[in-house]
Amino acid sequence: MNAITQTSAAGGLADWIAPARTALVIIDMQVDFAAPDGRIGQWGVDLSAVPPALEKAQALARAARAAGAPVVFVGLFTRPETDSPAWKARMLRRGGDPDDDSALCRAGERGSDFYGPTPQPGDPVVEKARYSGFHDAPLHEVLKGLGADTLVVAGLTTECCVDCTVRDAFHLDYHVFIATDACAAYEPDVHAAALKSLELNCAILVDTDQVIDAWRGAA
């Protein structure tokens, strides 16, 4: 599991992720997943891997805007009517509280607010109610409207909503690059395993500095 080498990135990456064809997609960097007082933090989950990823995603957003690449925010926005019976049954069978666990990122509540990088005027925001940004959500239409056939992906969490969105993007014939240091999971081994699987099957791994260097030349 390695980001592409600087040698190959020097020529290839700048063309592969040229701003005219590429969108930066930031997934689920929201209060409930990332803030100490969000729901995941309140559950006592170790969030120490999250702040560095937020900082890298913010740097990517600045670089994308400077280079003219669109920044698309994808977020989980749940409502009682979108709560999945399968999700609630799974949580119950695992001994959890399905009503409490289903209340992550409730639309209209602070938990669903973006945290770290935040949308600026003109940035598309795609609301979803499942793991993948493409499932029953307009992400594909938004990207096509932007003329993007290539994605640079950042977000939370690596093994869940990033993974599901990346796989669906690949199945829809997008060229997918994952900024590995702008993603995070709550457990380092889970983050590493997810990236290894995605690299083997769906995406090319890069780091934030490589992307910024490539876009700086296009600005």
pTM of the model: 0.93
Angle CA 198–202–203, to nearest 5 = 80
Question: Directed axis angle between helix 163-171 and helix 188-201, to 10°?
Answer: 0
pLDDT at 64: 98
**Rounded distance, CA 92 to CA 90, Å?**
5
Residue 88 has pLDDT above 90, yes or no: no
Where are the chain's structural domains? 6-216
Q: Is 28 a catalytic residue?
A: yes
Question: What's the mean pLDDT in 127-155?
Answer: 98
| 210, 13 Cβ separation under 8 angstroms | yes
Choose the catalytic residue: 56, 105, 123, 161.
Answer: 161
**Rounded distance, CA 33 to CA 170, Å?**
25
| 135, 168 Cβ separation under 8 angstroms | yes
Return mean pLDDT, the chain.
Answer: 93
Question: What's the mean pLDDT in 69-90?
Answer: 92
Choose the catalytic residue: 28, 32, 123, 181.
Answer: 28
Residue 6 has pLDDT above 60, yes or no: no
Residue 68 has pLDDT above 60, yes or no: yes
Residue 72 has pLDDT above 50, yes or no: yes
pLDDT at 87: 82
Residue 152 has pLDDT above 50, yes or no: yes
User: Which CATH code of 3.20.20.70, 3.40.50.850, 3.90.650.10, 3.40.50.140 fits the domain covering 6-216?
Assistant: 3.40.50.850
Q: Is 128 a catalytic residue?
A: yes
Name the pLDDT band for 219 (thresholds 50, 70, 90). low
pLDDT at 217: 77
**Rounded distance, CA 22 to CA 18, Å?**
6
Choose the catalytic residue: 32, 56, 128, 181.
Answer: 128
The 3-state DSSP class for residue 58 equals helix
pLDDT at 190: 98
Name the pLDDT band for 5 (thresholds 50, 70, 90). very low
**Rounded distance, CA 147 to CA 18, Å?**
12
pLDDT at 95: 83
More confident residue, 95 or 4: 95
Angle CA 130–136–142, to nearest 5 = 110
Q: Is 136 a catalytic residue?
A: no
